[in-house]
Chain A
Amino acid sequence: MAARTAIQLDLRDSVATALVPLSAGETVALETVTVALAENIPSGHKFAVRPIAKDEAVIKYGQPIGRATKPIQPGEHVHVHNVVSQRAVRESGVGG
């Protein structure tokens, strides 16, 4: 196996996590899918492995870690600029 550059922890996940700094244009081969990166991804950060619709749950560890605030394309950085905590939303009583 070649040195792994990213890991998808559960086959249901809509995101994978970079294990090293990755650059835009790079192609990353995961267990079941190959993703072309749309932007630079710092080590430890996530990118989408499939399209995620606005308001759709973002899945990591096979479970929802938050909700997309805008549509996210495969290979795009997934972080605080396009995902919001469902818990924070619920606690503050704003949105759904």
Chain B
Amino acid sequence: MLGVRCLVLGVWKRATEEGKSEIGNRKSEITIQGYPRANGTVGVRNHVLVLPTVGCSCHVAAKIAEGLPEAVAISHQHGCAQIGDDAAATFRTLTGTGANPNVGGVLVVALGCEQWAAEAFADEVRKAGKPAEIVGIQKEGGTSKAIARGRELLGGIADQVLRQERQACPFDRLVIAMECGGSDSFSGLTGNPLVGEIADRAVAEGATVIVSETTEFIGAEHLLATRGAFPEIGEDARKMVLDCEKVCRFYGADLTGSNPSPGNIEGGITTIEEKSLGCLHKGGHSPIQEVLDYAVAPTSRGLVLMDTPGNDIESVAGMVAGGATLILFTTGRGTPLGCAVAPVIKIATNTPLAESMAENMDFNAGLIADGKETMAEAADRLWALMLEVANGRLTCSEALGHREFGIRRTAPTL
């Protein structure tokens, strides 16, 4: 398994500085009220994050966070006995979450014998220009002492972070991630094309848009290959999809032979290209500027692709670790998912869902299918909502306390 993954992973980023310059120079006239960070990025939230370095420190991290209403603790079971690219991706996801512009400061909660030194985590956060402190369970002498010391340190971080106020920031600093989950036959007709329209508008304003979920691009890779801003990028995108298929075959799964499924065909999907385009469409029509490995930060503005799984929690976590500050998430069946440090705008693809799960749905794209709104009208309304959320309006998943987080694994735990 590891061998396969090592073979298929390569360095995909090849965007040239020359090519990036046009889109990188776009200046938006639109301003949002955000949190400018020392490294030039802009957050739309100002979280105080409690970050466990290893599964063994998650309980202590959660207890520390209970002492501060504004704190967010993430939980995971990793950070020990991992190997190769998989270990690197876990470290990158954890530190990327801490460095995300929506995070104002981080308390690193260590055990003491885990895979990576706690200092390495804190350094990544400090490099992003934000305060970071460390508490170690072994160093403090057990759970209770670590919780007490952690709460002291967290209070100090919060003092620095929570006094920051929102300021006018250019829209072009936003990094918007597109996700679809719990899809239905309307996803490709209403929600995803609508989100694609927002992607096109955001790219025109100079923002960064990340589109991912590699498994759902299978069948559209020859079309992706024509979408690169430079020939190498299109080829990288194509390679990303074909490599994903290789991994599937290694495990005896063939994603092309069964696609579209008999159920898809009955529902009206004719070819695998059509199915994948329905998913890919949420990235809009812009040229692809960059192809990124999981949880890697884009260096380009404009539309970028990231290699993530179709699993929504892991896909969103990867894009957020790469720097996404706002998520547009379409769903037809209805998923309540949120995200640890980024607001998720949940878009129902059909009106019955918008009504049955009203507390979870921020937006009803079903009005397009109902004939009550054109695509452009719905896009205007979603764009306005997105700006409100960037300015601080809580989304449904935030208000309900959803803080999902999960890391993609590509190798077994030893």
Residues of A within 8 A of B (CB): 1-5, 7, 9, 17-19, 42-46, 58, 60-66, 78-80, 83-88, 90-91
Contact = CB atoms under 8 A, between A and B. Distances in A.
Interface string B53-89: 0000000000000000000000000000000000000
Contacts of B277: 60-61, 63, 65
A84 B271 contact: yes
A7 B189 contact: yes
Nearest to B280: A61
Contact of A61 (B185, B219, B278): B278
A46 B285 CA distance: 22
A13 B404 CA distance: 38
A3 B372 CA distance: 7
Interface in B356-376: 368-372, 374-375
B281 A79 contact: no
Contact of A85 (B271, B278, B368, B370): B271
B379 to A, nearest CB: 13
Contacts of A5: 371
A64 B224 CA distance: 12
Contacts of B256: 87-88, 91
Given A9-B281, A61-B188, A85-B219, 17 more contacts: A17-B268, A44-B185, A44-B269, A46-B270, A60-B274, A61-B277, A61-B278, A63-B277, A65-B271, A65-B273, A66-B271, A78-B270, A80-B270, A86-B271, A87-B219, A87-B273, A91-B256
B347 interface: no
Interface in B216-240: 219, 222-223
A21 B372 CA distance: 19
A3 to B, nearest CB: 4
Contact of A86 (B222, B368, B374): B222
Given A63-B223, A64-B223, A86-B273, A4 B370 contact: yes
Given A86-B222, A87-B273, A62 B285 contact: yes
Contacts of A83: 270-271
Interface string B265-301: 1011111111001100100010000000000000000
